[in-house]
Amino acid sequence: MQGGIKDSRSYTVFRVINAVLIVAICFITLYPFLNVIAQAFSSEAYINSGQVNLIPMGFNVTTFGYVMSDPLFWRNYGNTVVYTVVATAIAMVLTTSFAYALSKRHLKGRAFFIGIAVFTMFFNGGLIPNYILINTLGFKNTIWAIVIPNAISIFNLLVMKAFFENFPEDLEEAAAIDGLTTYGILLRIVLPLSKAVIATMVLFYAVSFWNSWFTAFLYLDQSELYPVTVYLRNLLAAATGGESLGAGMGSGESAQVAANVKAVTMLLTVLPIVCLYPFIQKYFVSGVMLGSVKQ
Amino acid sequence: MTQQIRPKGRARRGAVLAGALLTAGALVLTGCAASDDGGTAEGGEFDFTGKDVGAMEDYGVGDTFAATEPVEFGLFYRDHPNYPIDDNWLLFEELEANQNVTFDIVSAPLSEWDQRKSLVIGAGDAPDIVSVTYPGQEVSFVAGGAILPASDFVQYMPNYMDKVEKWGMEPDLDALRQEDGKYYLFPGFREEPRPEYSYAVRTDIWEELGLSLEPESFEEFAEQLRTVKEAYPDLYPMTDRWSANGPIEGTLGFVSPNFGTTGGWGFGQGLWWNGEEFEYAGASDGYRDMVEYYAMLVEEGLLDPEAITQDDDQALQKFASGQALAMGTNDQEIVRYRSTIEELGTDAEIGMIRVPAGPAGDNFQSGQRLVSGFMLSSEAADSENFLAMLQFLDWLYYSDEGLEFAKWGVEGVTYDKDGEDTWVLNENITAMGLNPDAPENLQADYGFSNGVFTLVHGSTVALDRSMLRPEALDFVESMSSKDVLELPPPAPLNEIEREQVSLYQSSLKDHVWQNTSAFILGQRSMDEWDDYVAELEGMNMPAYLDIVNAAQERYAESN
Contact flag A247-B196 (C-beta cutoff 8 Å)? yes
pLDDT in tens, A218-274: 898 888 899 998 888 877 764 433 333 333 333 334 445 567 778 888 888 888 877
Q: Rounded to a whole number, what is the distance in Å from the CA of A35 to chain B's nearest CA?
A: 15
Chain B CB contacts of A235 below 8 Å: 81
pLDDT at residue B303, rounded to an integer: 94
pLDDT band at B140 (very low <50, low <70, confident <90, very high): confident
Q: Is the pLDDT of residue B16 over 90?
A: no
Percent helix / strand / coil, chain A, rounded to 5: 70, 0, 30
Residue of A nearest to B333 (CA): A251
pLDDT band at A47 (very low <50, low <70, confident <90, very high): confident
Which amino acid, B303?
A: L
Residue of B nearest to A72 (CA): B84
Residue of B nearest to A218 (CA): B116
pLDDT at residue A196, rounded to an integer: 81
Of the candidates B114, B119, B320, the beta carbon closest to that of A131 is on B119
Q: Which helix (H) or strand (E) holds B107?
A: strand B101-109
Contact flag B245-A218 (C-beta cutoff 8 Å)? no
Residue of B nearest to A245 (CA): B134
Asked whether B261 and B281 are in contact (CB, 8 A), the reply is yes
pLDDT in tens, B23-45: 333 333 333 433 333 334 455 78
Residue of A nearest to B312 (CA): A48
Neighbours of B154 (CB within 10 A): 19
Q: Is the pLDDT of residue A145 over 90?
A: yes
Contact flag A247-B265 (C-beta cutoff 8 Å)? yes
Contact flag B123-A256 (C-beta cutoff 8 Å)? no
The whole model's pTM is what?
0.77
Q: Which residues are within 8 A (CB) of B363 and not within 5 positions of it... i.e. 6 or more apart?
A: B257, B258, B260, B357, B482, B483, B484, B485
Using CB atoms within 10 Å of the CB of residue A28, give its burial: 0 to 12 exposed, 13 to 18 middle, 19+ buried. exposed
pLDDT at residue B408, rounded to an integer: 92
As a whole number of angstroms, the distance between CA A160 and CA A291 comes to 8
Asked whether B46 and B76 are in contact (CB, 8 A), the reply is no
Mean pLDDT within A174-193: 90
Strands B483-484 and B363-364, how do they pair? Answer: parallel
As a whole number of angstroms, the distance between CA B492 and CA B181 comes to 8
Contact flag A126-B110 (C-beta cutoff 8 Å)? no
pLDDT at residue A237, rounded to an integer: 64
pLDDT at residue B344, rounded to an integer: 78
pLDDT at residue A284, rounded to an integer: 64
- DSSP SS3 for B7: coil
Q: What is the DSSP letter of B321?
A: T
Chain A CB contacts of B28 below 8 Å: 128
As a whole number of angstroms, the distance between CA B359 and CA B410 comes to 48
pLDDT at residue B13, rounded to an integer: 36
Chain B CB contacts of A255 below 8 Å: 80-82, 110
Contact flag B432-A131 (C-beta cutoff 8 Å)? no
Q: Which helix (H) or strand (E) holds B121?
A: helix B113-122
Q: Rounded to a whole number, what is the distance in Å from the CA of A72 to chain B's nearest CA?
A: 9
Of the candidates B18, B250, B449, the beta carbon closest to that of A126 is on B18
Chain A 59-98, CB below 8 Å of chain B: which residues? Answer: 72
Q: Give the C-alpha distances (Å, rounded to integers) separating A177 from A103, A164, A180, A184, A191.
A: 20, 20, 7, 12, 18
Contact flag B321-A49 (C-beta cutoff 8 Å)? yes
Q: Is the pLDDT of residue B131 over 60?
A: yes
pLDDT in tens, A58-106: 888 887 887 788 888 899 999 999 999 999 999 999 999 999 999 998 8
pLDDT at residue B35, rounded to an integer: 36
Task: Output the average pLDDT for chain A.
Answer: 83
CA angle B30, B31, B37 (to 5 degrees): 125
Sign of CA dihedral B508, B514, B515, B517: positive
Using CB atoms within 10 Å of the CB of residue B508, give its burial: 0 to 12 exposed, 13 to 18 middle, 19+ buried. buried
pLDDT band at A113 (very low <50, low <70, confident <90, very high): very high
Contact flag A257-B81 (C-beta cutoff 8 Å)? yes
Neighbours of A207 (CB within 10 A): 17
pLDDT in tens, B177-223: 888 889 999 999 988 888 889 999 999 999 999 999 999 999 999 99
Q: Considering only A197-201, B6-10, B39-43, B480-484, which range has the smallest mean pLDDT?
A: B6-10
Chain A 223-282, CB below 8 Å of chain B: which residues? Answer: 223, 226, 230, 233-238, 240-257, 259
Task: Output the average pLDDT for chain B.
Answer: 87
Strands B278-280 and B271-273, how do they pair? Answer: antiparallel
Chain B CB contacts of A256 below 8 Å: 82, 336
Contact flag B122-A49 (C-beta cutoff 8 Å)? no
Chain B CB contacts of A259 below 8 Å: 313
pLDDT in tens, B266-296: 888 899 998 899 999 999 999 999 999 999 9
Strands (E), B402-535: 415-417, 423-425, 429-430, 440-441, 483-484
Q: Is the pLDDT of residue B418 over 50?
A: yes
Chain A CB contacts of B80 below 8 Å: 253, 255
pLDDT at residue B298, rounded to an integer: 95
- The DSSP line for A222-274 is -GGG--HHHHHHHHH--SS-HHHHGGGPPTTTS----HHHHHHHHHHHHHHHH
Maximal CA-CA distance, chain B: 76
Mean pLDDT within A29-41: 90
Q: Rounded to a whole number, what is the distance in Å from the CA of A177 to chain B's nearest CA?
A: 54
Asked whether B287 and B263 are in contact (CB, 8 A), the reply is yes
CB pairs below 8 Å between A and B: how many?
A: 157
pLDDT band at B519 (very low <50, low <70, confident <90, very high): very high
pLDDT in tens, A195-209: 888 888 888 898 899
pLDDT at residue B1, rounded to an integer: 39
Of the candidates B124, B253, B432, the beta carbon closest to that of A246 is on B253
